[in-house]
Structure 1
Amino acid sequence: MDEDLHIKYPRLLTFASQLKAGKGLTIIGTALQGNFLDNYGEVQAAEQTIKHMMQIEKVKGFCQVVVSSKVHNGISHLIQSCGLGGMKHNTVMLGWPYGWRQSEDPRSWKTFIDTVRCTTAAHLALMVPKNVSFYPSNYERYLEGNIDVWWIVHDGGMLMLLPFLLKQHKVWKKCRMRIFTVAQMDDNSIQMKKDLATFLYHLRLEADVEVVEMHNSDISAYTYERTLMMEQRSQMLKQMQLTKTERSREAQLVKDRHSINHLETLYSDDEEEEAHHKPETIHMTWTKEKYGAERRGRSSAADHFRELINLNRKI
């Protein structure tokens, strides 16, 4: 809300209602700067304004207004305390800080950055719609159009879920969903398109698949490397011929080892040499041959144990 207690982005409420399509929990929150004892009247006025806008936009949910000495502290309190028990939010949506480059007050973009950090620390999903004032209202209908998803970092199905939820609403129901994924020039684009189409089929999602070929310089090194690492990990687990439960255990074990290595780098310089040799003892680069040798070693140990039991019985 602005200084006059007017809602800056009313279409954020509209977009939130379209995402949940009448289901789920929605909490509209805002943070006011000041002292609660001195600003109780403003809190009541802000709540009435939000409730009135929720009725206009047909948003079913709750509203919560907090007062704090700093706005980003109030937003942090909202992220931590909203909800009750299992009815807690898993996604935070906030407006883009328009005009932050021209503004002489750095609080707008600093508040935005602090909110992103708090959301990341709470392990919540974050949505930042841009140009939200141009988004359709609940009274509009799209008879045609596309919902484009650029699936660059393949880190889960969140980007697939959002357009699916939008298509459940009557405003977006007639739109087609298009999935764009990025490949390098020497990749097998045809096979990638087939794999992605199969993945969408298993998710029961109807979408058009497009593979965009780009040069190495056009692809962010971080996004491509992260996607490649996740694909290599999945391929490695498949080659080990493990069950689904064993795959999850191995993936968690690799993650734990990575966390241990990261913590070792935080030691003092006196322990740096000792920490330098530790990764060798916990190296978890598994191959199919190494896994087979490990299993044979375990089976031989079990055979020795059985021989000891039989020898005991004979004695």
Structure 2
Amino acid sequence: MLLISWSFTVVSLALASLIYYYVSIKGKAGDWGDGFKSAYFQLALRSLRSLGANQVHPKNWYPIPLVFCRPWGKLPENVPCHPKLADFANCMKKKGRGMSIFVSILDGDYHELAEDAKEACKQLSTYIDYKSCEGVAEIVVAPNMSEGFRGIVQTMGLGNLKPNIVVMRYPEIWRRENLKEIPATFVGIINDCVVANKAVVIVKGLDEWPNEYQMQYGTIDLYWIVRDGGLMLLLSQLLRTKKSFENCKIQVFCIAEEDSDAEELKADVKKFLYDLRMQAEVIVISMKSWDAQIEGGSPQDDWLEPITAAQQRIASYLAESAQADGKPIVVNEQQVEKFLYTTLKLNSTILRYSRMAAVVLVSLPPPPVNQPAYFYMEYMDLLVENVPRLLIVRGYRRDVVTLFT
């Protein structure tokens, strides 16, 4: 048109601009759809169907954290999640890929709190965007925390995009705030994860967790007590890929009984790490078993005070429960002493070898059967005491690392 008549070209462009301006100002706004979004939607459906629901090979396994934002409720009302929880969730991304699901539970009736849940979901989504974390926000309304989490762990996600790791912070406030309902909720969450075959990562010392600009030096110490499919090793490698932990070295501590062959165990673990192409120093620590401790006599003097204090708290709990329910709780006192000794011994070992570590990873002991939840919290408090930054890890019934990871 410009070659035929430049004047008509100018007039046509001017008229088109006026019409566009008039429609944009006076025209009725509407969402007419987007062809690209439709294509993305179809591609996502096709990809989800191709993934299926069968277990993926360990070399294709990616952590999909289910981040439990407010499990213990002690945050300001306008704060949807602990500020450092998203920083930790970003540390669990494998090669920068993966998705996190941030969930929170509102106690109450769904019909009454539906609008509050929508508003809370918007706040949580804003928090995720602010933290530059790849993930989605979900708010669930349930009568209580335990029932809400049980529904979440069963239904959240689709196919192989279901979350496979539950991440939450350790309830350090339960004794200070005298929150007596926390032990039962905490143990219930762990047991639900065991039944649903979900891994668990509990963060202690979340307030001290570094952001991406706070460089850490020292070591990442792993206290490998039970076989967890390599999840603890994978987490340590993922931490080292982040800028804040890239200068840290990995140390693997293997706990063995005194009568076991420590050198053979050390050689086996070294070969296993070599096959996985993981560089780490292996240290075997011999620990006296409970039976040997009983035969050897009373515990060390520096252990008497914390064990005695824990036993007194347990005795007070039993007395209060018997007074409230009208019938005493029967427990195996020797079994309780065994758990107290084991957790305190492990805590003293961590403080001895890893006091200056950047972060410590330790296996999560399973809740003992036929014991009140309060007892388990006493054991856990002894385990984590005076350890500033601790990840308590429980794997699940499959391998997450192979020679090809």
- TM-score (normalised: structure 1): 0.64
Q: Tell me, in whole angstroms, the C-alpha distance in 1 between the residues paired with 2:183 and 2:260.
A: 39
Aligned residues: 221
CA contact (8 A) 1:148 1:180 kept: yes
Aligned to 1:166: 239
Helix, strand or coil at the partner of 1:20: coil
CA contact (8 A) 1:9 1:95 kept: no
| Alignment equivalent of 1:73, drawn from 144, 147, 153 | 147
Aligned to 1:266: none
Aligned to 2:99: 25
Aligned to 2:130: 56
RMSD, aligned CA: 2.3
Q: Deviations over 1:34-58 (max 9, x none)?
A: 1222212321221122122212322
CA contact (8 A) 2:170 2:203 kept: yes
Please list every run of at least 4 consecutive aligned residues from structure 1 whose deviation after the TM superposition is greater than 6 angstroms. Answer: 218-222
Gap change, CA 1:69 and 1:5, over 3 Å in 2: farther
Aligned to 1:111: 185
Q: Are 1:177 and 2:264 counterparts?
A: no
Aligned to 1:151: 224
1:130 positional shift: 0.7
Helix, strand or coil at the partner of 1:50: helix
Aligned to 1:100: 174
1:155 positional shift: 4.4
CA contact (8 A) 2:221 2:252 kept: yes
Q: Deviations over 1:114-152 (max 9, x none)?
A: 21121111011111111111111123222x221000011
Identify the structure with the greater helix proportion. 1
Output the amino acid matched with 2:121. Answer: E
Gap change, CA 1:183 and 1:46, over 3 Å in 2: same
Q: Tell me, in whole angstroms, the C-alpha distance in 1 between the residues paired with 2:181 and 2:259.
A: 46
Aligned to 2:4: none
Q: Note the residue ranges of structure 2 that are not aligned, 5 or more in a row.
A: 1-69, 294-334, 340-405
Aligned to 1:270: none
- The aligned runs of 1:134-145 (5 Å cut-off) are 134-142=208-216, 144-145=217-218
CA contact (8 A) 1:18 1:138 kept: no
Aligned to 1:245: none
- The aligned runs of 1:190-201 (5 Å cut-off) are 190-201=263-274
1:203 positional shift: 1.0
Q: Are 1:13 and 2:86 counterparts?
A: yes
Of structures 1 and 2, the one with the larger relative CO (CA 8 A, separation 6+) is: 2
Q: Note the residue ranges of structure 1 that are not aligned, 5 or more in a row.
A: 223-315
Output the amino acid matched with 1:27. Answer: I
Q: Tell me, in whole angstroms, the C-alpha distance in 2 between the residues paired with 1:183 and 1:102.
A: 35
